[in-house]
Amino acid sequence: MAAAPPAAGSQLITPPEIPPDPIAFLGVKVVHIVAGLMGGMVRAITRPDISWGRRVGTGIVGALVAGYGTPIAAPMIWHWLPDHVTARLTYGEVEGLAGFVLGLTGLSLADGAVRMAREWRDNPTFPPRFPPPKG
């Protein structure tokens, strides 16, 4: 039987042979950052038309989105997966998948959030009506 995701507010007991996460004070895990960076790099490699600066930025944004988004996305993905799939996976594998996918789509998510904020700034209506992207 697969391990369930940790309950909200619970403390995980780390075995003594695993060193503490060096960037835990930032509220992120190194493994989430690495998964997001790899996803961002895959996106950058598949876009040969963009500059090297934009490629590096894609990796950095992917790492940031994955670092802070994986703790939100991984429990949702775990919950949505059918039992026959979660029986074969560990929660850490689902976290890695979530981090990679968030890194892969991170720049698009950031672009969309900025566009939505600008639309709201220019026309603050409720409920917000965001037009499709131009171009």
pLDDT at 110: 86
Per-residue pLDDT at 6 exceeds 70: no
| Choice between 124 and 56, residue whose per-residue pLDDT is larger | 56
pLDDT at 107: 86
Categorize the per-residue pLDDT at 25 as very low, low, confident or very high, splitting at 50, 70 and 90.
confident
**Each residue of 52-109: pLDDT tens digit?**
898 898 899 999 999 999 999 999 999 999 988 888 988 889 999 999 999 999 888 8
DSSP the chain: -PPPPPPTTPPPPPPTTSPPPTTGGGT--HHHHHHHHHHHHHHHHT-TTS-HHHHHHHHHHHHHHHHHHHHHHHHHHHHHS-HHHHTT--HHHHHHHHHHHHHHHHHHHHHHHHHHHHHHHHS--SS--PPPPP-
Mean pLDDT value across the chain: 82
Per-residue pLDDT at 8 exceeds 70: no
